Structure 1
Amino acid sequence: MALPQNAIKTITLEGVVKNNATHEFVPVVLHRMTAPLNLVPSCYDPRPDQSPPWVKTLLESVPERPPSRLPPPGTSQLHGHLARFRGDGRAGIVFELDNVQLDGATADPVSVPRLVVKIARPNRLASLAREAWFYDEMECLQGSAIARCYGWFEMQLSPGQTVPAWKAHPTEDPHWHDYVLEVDETYGTIHPDQLARSARRDVLSVLLLEQLGPTMPLGPLPESARTDITSLYEDISHLGISAAEDVRWHNILQAPQYEPCLPSLPSPFTNRVHSWRKINFELPVKTNLTPWQLSLSYKAHLRTMFEEAEDEGTEDPWP
């Protein structure tokens, strides 16, 4: 059976944290975190919808989170070693894990896919917590339109401990505050946990994710691939989630093709089995816009992305 996304209670990582005195890596244990349901405020538009019913743009309320279909949380411990660098962005740095071992699993054998860890930058703890919330919100799309997420884990660094990845893959704004707080403040109240998190620089925070394939290639893309990628965003729109402002080619990865990997699941909304996945969810907003209205916005941004990716060829159109 497939490893449930909530089966792991702790992860022990090697090759991530160094002791400054000995200059040696030390194994560290991170514990599963749970994002409060109210961590991310909803963007509720109270305006009366004057459109005809067939082009209705607003729902009466923000869609509720679909019920979880996962079993009760497990107590397994995962051990892994930091391996190949996969990429980085605003909020995090992604590495493959190797030498993965799972202890305390159920009596039945479980299938564990290849895994990656997304390590939050020291000034982006609130961003990673926000992304963890959206993975919980979109549990029904994990393995279909988005990657499977096996949890959000944290630990407080001891004095004299450092994370070399932070220095090896620096951000352009190491002293800036976490700007996702501005997003939440626009639509509601910033959660106090997020305010506290934005002031910390001594926490190692990671997401444990299913390893995906390479990014969407630049250059001409077959119409079938364009249709499939567009459908990813249509799936997300069914949950009332707006992520149009973050449509980028490097946020779209191929579904896993390696062995062993878990099979792609059909979309709960369209029954389509996708060949692609959407990643990076620090900036989306939960809204009461209808799927129809959200899809319109997505399609406009995707059309621009496809055109610019084709025009630029092998050059990154979003440096």
Structure 2
Amino acid sequence: MHPLDNPNAVPSNAFESVTLSSLAKHVETHAPHDVVLHRGQPRPNKEFIVKGPIRTPTPRRPSELPEPGKLNIHLILGRKIGHGRVARVYEATVDYAKSSPELQQLVLPPLVVKVSRRYDARHLAKEAYYYDEMECLQGSVIPRYYGFFQSTIPVDWNFGPWRRDSIVRGSRRSVDSDTESEFDDDDYSPRPNVPEEEYSSDEEPPPPPPVTPTKVSILIMERLGGLMPLGKPLPEDIIDDITSLYSNLSHLAVDHVDIRYYNILRAPPSDSPLPSLPAPFTQRTYEWRIVDFKNSYKTNRSMVVFDGYYEGYVERLLTNLPYNDIWEPWDF
């Protein structure tokens, strides 16, 4: 634990299991079911070894965490606040009365839960690996992180977050609305992979549900703030902060890969129950955080090459924001 952190802060490995309250319903009776997930095993992407100015891929810094805890946290998911190709992100409220009693004496920030889409559980295992790998950057450069958990959804349950996902493995994705509420629908039935309103009575019925249980993965993280401003010049302190943020990843030889506008979020406010911490390599306290590491990997690039690589991508991204131009890394 960082010496400047709250001594009662929950360690990131404190939870052995997570209960998501009434997040599934039986397909016939519609009876609600809690979904219980257990600590999973993260899996890295393959290291990328380059020729030229090289170094040995930096080993993980020694962990400062205690032994893995045995606590259970009971969460109630609320509004969806983000979505991507493999997962959705929801606000989460802790039900302390149903969680391990020890949790009431500890300090947690506001939380979010990232839930894998149907058939995409494996992708969060990769992202979890890099949150663990970058433990020393949690709360300063990346969000505070509270674990990776997995379960399987029985075939006779409808799982709320998947209600707009295709039930056909490998088919095209559903389209999420930025304003829809995921859990205000009485019917959690799985939908075909086009919006419900596009169906008429003379169309073929959707395919039958899966015949085997389907894995689900989640990540628990602290809730962050909004995005960088668009359509006006960025203050120099923001430009300097974002550039410096990425230099910390260079020290750990982690290539973020997804250097995107949507993956840089404002740090929690100063009145958050847990403070922003100074980054270990720059000793700076930042107002921004980097998220989304499912495509990341470790590499043997030299620090000079790494810093130049990040500076080029970050400069291209930030230069275009005043013109309402959201540049993507694949445009480089």
Normalising by the smaller structure, the TM-score range is: 0.7 to 0.9
Out of 46, 64, 67, the residue aligned to residue 41 of structure 1 is 46
Could you list the per-position Cα deviations for residues 22-63 of structure 1 after superposition, in whole angstroms to 9, with x for gaps in the alignment?
334311111011325xx4322223x3x4xxxxxxx311x111
Residue 8 of structure 1 aligns with which residue? 15
Superposed CA deviations along residues 280-306 of structure 1, whole A, max 9, x for unmatched, are 001112001122211111111111111
Q: 2:157 matched to 1:161? A: yes
The separation in 1 between residues aligned to 2:222 and 2:143, in whole angstroms, is 6
- Residue of structure 2 equivalent to 1:30: 37
| Residue among 10, 20, 37 paired with 2:27 | 20
Give the CA deviation at 1:237: 0.9
Q: CA deviation at 1:164?
A: 2.6
Contact between 1:255 and 1:277, CA under 8 Å: does it hold in 2? Answer: yes
Specify the SS of the correspondent of 1:118.
strand
| One-letter amino acid of the counterpart of residue 218, structure 1 | L
The residue number in structure 2 matching 1:175 is 170
1:266 maps to 278
Is contact 1:43–1:288 with CA below 8 Å preserved after alignment?
Answer: yes
1:110 aligns with 2:117: no
Cα offset, 1:15, TM superposition: 4.2
Q: Which residue of 2 aligns with 1:312?
A: 324
**Cα separation, 2, equivalents of 1:94 and 1:148:** 15
Q: Sequence identity, in percent? A: 36
Report the Cα distance in structure 2 between the residues aligned to 1:149 and 1:99, rounded to whole angstroms: 15
After superposition, the Cα gap between the structure-2 partners of 1:68 and 1:221, relative to the gap in structure 1 and judged at 3 Å, is same
Contact 1:216 1:249 in 2 (8 A): yes
Q: Partner of 2:221 in structure 1?
A: 209
Q: Mark the CA change 1:167 to 1:310 in structure 2 (over 3 Å): closer, same or farther.
A: farther
Does 2:136 match 1:140?
yes
Deviation per CA, 1:86-127: give whole Å up to 9, x if none: 100122100011243241537x92111111100011232221
Taking the aligned partners of 1:22 and 1:210, their CA distance within structure 2 comes to 35
Query: Counterparts of 1:201 and 1:175 in 2: how far apart (Å)?
Result: 16
Once residues 302 and 171 of structure 2 are traced to their aligned partners in structure 1, the CA distance between those partners, rounded to angstroms, is: 35
Write the distance in 2 (CA, Å) between the matches of 1:81 and 1:306: 36
- 1:71-86, aligned counterparts within 5 Å? 71-86=66-81
Contact 1:15 1:82 in 2 (8 A): no
- Assess if the C-alpha contact under 8 Å between 1:31 and 1:155 holds in 2: yes
Q: Which has the larger radius of gyration?
A: 2
Distance 1:151 1:67 in 2: 18
Quickly say closer, same or farther: Cα 1:217–1:163, change in 2 above 3 A: farther
Provide the C-alpha distance between the structure 2 equivalents of 1:277 and 1:246, rounded to a whole number of angstroms: 13
**Aligned residue among 82, 91, 94 for 2:86:** 91
Counterpart Cα distance in 2 of 1:277 and 1:147: 6
The change in CA–CA distance for 1:201 and 1:122 in structure 2 (over 3 A counts) is farther
Verify the 8 A CA contact 2:122 2:217 in the aligned structure 1: no
Please tell me the residue identity of whatever aligns with 1:237: S
Does the C-alpha gap of structure 1 residues 210 and 174 become closer, same or farther in structure 2, counting only changes over 3 Å? Answer: farther
TM-score scaled by structure 2? 0.78
Contact 1:75 1:105 in 2 (8 A): no
Unaligned runs of 5+ in 2: 1-7, 173-211
AA partner of residue 242 (structure 2): I
Tell me if structure 1 keeps the 8 A contact 2:151–2:217: yes
Amino acid at match of 1:81: I
User: Which of 235, 249, 253 is 1:236 aligned to?
Assistant: 249
Aligned length: 279
Instruction: State how far apart, in whole Å, the 2-side matches of 1:11 and 1:126 are.
Output: 18
Q: TM-score, normalised by structure 1?
A: 0.81
Partners of 2:155 and 2:213 within 8 A in 1: no
The alignment's C-alpha RMSD in Å is 2.4
Per the alignment, residue 209 of structure 2 pairs with none
Q: 1:3 to 1:300 in 2, by over 3 A?
A: same
Would the aligned equivalents of 1:242 and 1:287 in 2 still touch at CA under 8 Å?
Answer: yes
Q: Does 1:281 align with 2:293?
A: yes
